[in-house]
Amino acid sequence: MRVLAAMSGGVDSAVAAARAVDAGHDVVGVHLALSRMPGTLRTGSRGCCTIEDSMDAQRAANIIGIPYYVWDFSERFKQDVVDDFIAEYSAGRTPNPCMRCNERIKFAALLEKALALGFDAVATGHYADIRTDEAGNKELHRAATWAKDQSYVLGVLNTQQLAHSMFPLGSTPSKAEVRAEAAARGFSVANKPDSHDICFIPDGDTRGWLKDKVGAEQGQILDRSGAVLGTHEGAHAFTVGQRKGLSIGYPADDGKPRFVLEVQPKTNTVVVGPKEALDLAEVAGFSYSWAGLGPVESGIASYGADDSITEFACEVQIRAHADPVAAIAFVAGGELVIRPTTPLNGVAPGQTAVVYVGTRVLGQCTIARTVSAVPAPTAQLV
Selecting among 49, 199, 314, 365, the annotated active-site residue is 199
In the chain, which residue ranges form alpha helices assigned H by DSSP?
A: 11-22, 51-64, 74-77, 83-90, 97-100, 110-116, 159-163, 175-185, 206-214
Determine contact, residues 190/200, Cβ cutoff 8 Å. no
365 is a catalytic site residue: no
101 is a catalytic site residue: yes
Give me the torsion for CA of 123, 66, 194, 112, rounded to 10°. Answer: -30
| Nearest partner of 364 among 102, 80, 135, 167, judged by Cα | 102
Residue 322: exposure state from Cβ atoms within 10 A (0-12, 13-18, ≥19): middle
Secondary structure (3-state) at 23: coil
Sort strands 279-285 and 344-345 into parallel, antiparallel or unpaired: antiparallel
Residue 380: exposure state from Cβ atoms within 10 A (0-12, 13-18, ≥19): exposed
Q: Any long-range contacts for 202-210 (C-beta under 8 Å, 24+ apart)?
A: 202/39, 202/40, 202/41, 202/42, 202/43, 204/42, 204/46, 207/237, 210/86, 210/89, 210/234, 210/236, 210/237
How many Cα atoms are found within 13 Å in the side-chain-facing hemisphere of 161? Answer: 23
**Helix 11-22 with 51-64: angle, nearest 10 deg:** 20
| Nearest partner of 126 among 165, 77, 100, judged by Cα | 165
Residue 128: what residue type? A
Secondary structure (3-state) at 169: coil
Selecting among 48, 49, 98, 101, the annotated active-site residue is 101
Sort strands 309-317 and 352-357 into parallel, antiparallel or unpaired: antiparallel
Which residues are tagged catalytic?
Answer: 101, 199
